Amino acid sequence: MITKQQVVQAHLPATLTPRDEAEAFAPSNIALCKYWGKRDAELNLPINASLSVSLAHLGTRTRLVHATDGRDRVWLNGAEQAADSAFSQKLLAFVDLFRAGHALPVHVHTQNNIPTAAGLASSASGFAALTLALNEWLNLELAPAVLSAFARMGSGSACRSLFEGFVQWEDGIRDDGMDSHGVRLEASWPELRIGLVKVATGEKAVDSRAGMKRTIETAHLYQSWPLQAAADLTRLHQAIGEKDFALLGQTAEQNALSMHATMIASWPPLLYWTPDSVAAMQQVWQLREQGLALYFTMDAGPNLKLLFEAGDQAQVEQAFAGLEVVAPFSA
């Protein structure tokens, strides 16, 4: 088995020349065709290719400072995190891949501007921003595709957050995963809007990593998931190429529901939906029956992310109070 350490090592210079500090930003991303299932749990290599849209200004800004006090320290949204917290440990383990045994103490300042309760994972933008900041801090001058593959090893979907706009995460075939990274699509869609519905806060009972594992091991239906994902990717490319919003929305919604279906078919059953999630879905379907071009996607959580176009924004905002709206392709 190839380890993360081996993969990163192969791309590092003989000597590291760290700057005093470095800073980077990476956006969150919403998958229109989901990443669900790993073919390699160490490197986060996916069973299927996926496709997302990045959320412009919503994401994570991370600053790395070469520590003069000789200690690794981590701040999240201004609050210092305990050294033994899961957050600090996971983050510093990733930094260690790049320090490769050298004594390079660092202070990590991480700032998320993702609205609380919107159910957006911050690990994607977090590991993407951290990877970009490490590239700056250590003067690595690595290509975006390489950095994307590195970010993937922190959190799978982080490899898509290296880029703006529509991004495809190639599944790849290499054992070291270096061909499994994000690729930005040329297309733009200025009218596209994403609405974040606030359904629930609180920690997830089962995280995505454990959820994927359970699904693959116990749900017979998962066997057909790669077929669904492959068909949906083709349809999404067609929808984006022709700017066919109904096709984009339908494909994204069916893809998300199919992913949830594989979880629901697992044992023990994995249902991220709350009664409020179901009520929100039914509201979307009712509005659509009334003629509104409104669709949703959901990740491994109870929240809906609405998909619509700029012309319908007023109507959508009226139906969903407190909606946070993102325009992924606006300047």
Shortest approach of a second copy to residue 259 CB, angstroms?
Answer: 9
CB atoms within 10 A of CB 267: 10
Cβ-based nearer residue to a second copy, 111 or 218? 218
| 161 Cβ contact list (under 8 Å, min separation 6) | 26, 27, 28, 29, 54, 59, 124, 125, 127, 128, 129, 151, 182
Cβ-based nearer residue to a second copy, 162 or 287? 287
Q: Which of 246, 248, 277 is nearest to 264 (CA)?
A: 277
Bridging pattern class, strands 38-40 and 182-184: unpaired
Shortest approach of a second copy to residue 234 CB, angstroms?
Answer: 12
DSSP class of residue 155?
-
Core vs surface per residue 244-262: b (16+ CB within 10 A) or e: ebeebbbbbbbbbebbbbb
Cβ-based nearer residue to a second copy, 220 or 331? 220
**SS3 label, residue 173:** coil
CB 170 within 8 A of CB 181: yes
Shortest approach of a second copy to residue 227 CB, angstroms?
Answer: 5
Write out the residues near a second copy by the rule CB under 8 A: 218-225, 227-228, 231, 250, 253-254, 257-258, 260-262, 264-269, 271, 273-279, 281-282, 285
Cβ-based nearer residue to a second copy, 10 or 246? 246
Shortest approach of a second copy to residue 274 CB, angstroms?
Answer: 7
Q: Which of 170, 75, 159, 169 is nearest to 124 (CA)?
A: 159
Q: At which residue do the structure tokens 């949204």 appear?
A: 77
Cβ-based nearer residue to a second copy, 76 or 287? 287
Say how far apart CA 138 and CA 232 lie, in whole Å.
39
Cβ-based nearer residue to a second copy, 106 or 236? 236
Shortest approach of a second copy to residue 273 CB, angstroms?
Answer: 6
Shortest approach of a second copy to residue 266 CB, angstroms?
Answer: 8
Cβ-based nearer residue to a second copy, 101 or 275? 275
Core vs surface per residue 223-241: b (16+ CB within 10 A) or e: eebbebbeebbebbbebbe
Shortest approach of a second copy to residue 224 CB, angstroms?
Answer: 4
Say how far apart CA 27 and CA 129 lie, in whole Å.
8
Shortest approach of a second copy to residue 217 CB, angstroms?
Answer: 13
What residue type is 146 in one-letter code? V
Shortest approach of a second copy to residue 223 CB, angstroms?
Answer: 5
Cβ-based nearer residue to a second copy, 145 or 319? 319
CA separation, residue 210 to residues 34, 36, 241, 301 (Å): 16, 11, 35, 13
Torsion of CA 193, 197, 201, 205, to 10 degrees: -80
Cβ-based nearer residue to a second copy, 110 or 277? 277
Q: At which residue do the structure tokens 């179901």 appear?
A: 278
